Structure 1
Amino acid sequence: MLFSNLYHYLKEEKSFAVTLNCSTDLHEIRDVELLDGTQMSYATDIVYFGYSNALSSDTQPAQCILADDKMALFPYSCTDRATVPAQELFAVFNAAKQYIQHQEHLSLYEELVRRGHLTHSLDEVVNFASIKMGNSLIFCDKKFRILSYSTSIPVIDPWWKENVERGYCTYEFIKTVMSLESIQSAATTIEPIEVSCPESPYRKCSSKVFLNGVQVGFVLMIEGNTSFTSGHLAAMSDISKAISYVIGRYHPELLQYSSADQQLLEALLIGTPAELLSDSISHLHTSDAMYALCIQPESDLKEIELKEQICPAILHIFPEAYMTIHDNAIALLVPDQSSVVYENTQKRMLKTMAELHLDAGISLVFSKMDEFYTAYQQARNVLEWNRRIPDFLKKQIIWDRRYPSEHRTHRYSEIEFYELMDLVPEPDALASFIHPALYRLKEYDQKTGNELFHTLEVYLQSFHNNKETANILCIHRNSLAYRMEKIAEVGKADFNDPNTEFLLRLSYKIIEYLKINNKWHM
């Protein structure tokens, strides 16, 4: 039993006027004891009851329930503490003692189910079980999506820690696990098995989880500071049954079955080779010009909220698209290029993105389904870069003007160069590759207050179109002509030479990258 369990029992079921001061649930409760002023040390698994003046200023209990004396300073070193009116102190003590004695006769399954009834939370049940076992726990569905994991005792195994952070297991990881002899020979029951993996130093045991006679996942315990015993293996069956009960009663949405198309996309998104899915892929409508999209809400939404609130609006824009929820985002396969580049579609998309506070990343065009995984990573990376670029820099960087960044849609072509620069082993050396003409223009602008540096940038991005350049800069074309003459004079470069133009364009992109990484100081 944990301190929060005892508090809720006294507060909710017995209606005592208990006030919770702090609760960490770090320690399992074994017993209760009265403070008599003679204790020199305290056990962490005992809740102490009494008055604060019976406590030593040097040593204080980890768990206590004290009389609410307004004049007393309560010890803040306690990890779990509550207060009660002085007149209720002994009644609360007796109720707590009876409750703990009664709990001693409950099985682990009964304790976990009671925790589930109290909190309606799968995470709470997994955390409670983790503390009881003294080891970390992970619950996955049959597709190896991680639906819950312990935070009170964090996962430290490097392989599973990576999976937890990602929210799912990759195809290669699943393939390795399923090839283990202990997994292949496991019975189709909740009987726990020990799983040994040569790549990890941590022992593990696993138990399948069933709902209505069908396996829906498995629970995994990873050995940490507490060594496995026969009791741990026996307890895994109770944990499995409790998880099944809580999901069936309170969270059936976690196991809602997706369509065949959604399952296909999910398999591709975890890295399953397309050739292994050829039969399923053959039923899709595809073309030689497809896009992958990643759509994310501005604020975190649960998967059920994404499905109910966001997905219908996206399907209205792309009715022919294939869609699934993956890693807290909506993943789309748009099978026809025209539906993304079509002007009316763009208008509907931009309007929906703004209204629902969504951001969309769009991949490069691709033609084969074995490219979908890479294309989706491109779409997701666009959004990662969008968050990485400070807002004030977004206004300075000249994006593709057909798809302005403030409209909340972003294309991989906008940031592909940045990803390339991220591979440079010595990014500080990039500044030496900036064309010297740009340094001269920047220095001239700083001395005179002119904008030759920015003017040349817009001119190059506008493909030497004087009218468009003047409109963007909001200046007269005669003023632009004067600026271009000055740029040639100050820059001392042949701006009509194709190689020079390429190097100038490259230099502006390097400067953008250095700005993003706070390494451009001119």
Structure 2
Amino acid sequence: MKLSMWMIANRLSPLMDVKTNISADAKPVLNSARLVYSTNCVHVYQDKDHVVCSGEDDSICLYGVTEKEAFEIIQGVFDYFQDWEANLQAFIRKNEFQKIVDSCEILIQNPMDIQDANNKLLAISRHPDPSTVDPEWLYMSRYGYSSLNAIKAFDLSQSNTDFTRHGVQPFSPADSSSLKHGGISYCLQFNGIDCGRITILEMIRPINPGDYQLLDKIAQLLEPVMGTAVLSDHSPSHFNALYSLVFQKSYDVRELQLQLAYQQWTENDDFQMLLIQPDYLQNSYRSVEILYSILLHNLPSCVIFRKDPYILVLSNQLLEKRQNLLDFLSALHENNKIRASFSLGAKGTAEIPWMVQQCLFAIKAAESESNGQWLYYFEKYAVDYMLFHARGSEQIHACHPMIRKLWDEKEKNEDELFKTLLIYLDNERSVNKTSAALFTHRNTVMYRIRKLQETYSLNLDDPGTRYYLRLSMQVLSSPVRMNTQFFSGPQLNSIR
């Protein structure tokens, strides 16, 4: 294992007094100790009353030891790290996260924790006592998750730092009584998706470049294991529970509820998804990366996922109704040449997995059009989707949102609006024929139809809208659908 002078100094400092002269950019390029100069090695030699350990123009001075003893000490550090790396790999393979943290205690000397992407605590330093760190550290050690209040306070106090960016980010103490220490936090990612986080608090000694380098080493080994665990579906996922929900991976219901709470969402909110394909003529990784960062900064109330070459934006609001978002997308398109599509809006987290497929279908269906459009709505393509693509439950979830709501109300409360609209459409929008079929006054029919149009902004003069409404009604009320048990979950296994 290659070391930097910072890493060597961090190992020695708890054991003996050392004097260091190390540049901030000293890299881990050193292979071993030598008594004579050699490239990429620590040269150990006597200089008056102390021993100099020199590596790539940086130095550590040891006092009270002979040259031979110093050589053995420095070579012992290299041997120590070699054993540490071998043990670390074994701990990671077995998902022994607490042993990972324990093995770093003498090297880091500061409080350290590992969490998954759901803010679930996987391991935490045994020392110091959590009650002596800060209230949030004590909360995590007791309950196994970050607290909602701490996350909110942290987000507000670190507004200029992107903690979803892969790699290590420094942070300062939050403006909160529960977060008293700054430190560094490493966002673990696999295939562009968050799978966890390692955090070190700056409490006992100042954090230095050696700590950054050690985190890099741990992350390089840890990310593939944490990331691939979910792909087999044989072990618990470390991915964000919302991500697992969207892409139909296994997740813990409690973790999903916590993620909703972190977002200040509820399970019964109205959700909608926006899919963006940046730089679609080139599909460059860099284009996705840049646009992802822009969206994170400008849409803080949304959850944003990367699934190259796409970016998915999930909200508990109807995104297509937000004019500021539409203006923002237009500005992006002027400079980045994006394509984007909206899913249907739907109530409840159970609807979310179907939205990805709807967005994708709109993008793909629009490829045959040469009208210069770049923003698409699944609703426009829903009829084609239901007739030629969807199966079983996919058809149900593609039905017009208003029709699904009317159907649910009809089933629960025997509401007449569904039946009224069905007969109204079947009778070519004739109020007289509809009132006769319903055995009710024509004014009642007119009131119900007007109520639907005003409540849901329906344009019943549009034949495409009428066909979509009628097809949705047929799908929901079909005796075949109601009596056939062949429905399963969404068929989307991967984005293509």
Could you say which TM-score interval applies, normalised by the shorter chain? 0.3 to 0.5
What TM-score does the superposition give when structure 1 sets the normalisation length? Answer: 0.31
| Larger-Rg structure | 1
TM-score, structure 2 length as denominator?
Answer: 0.33
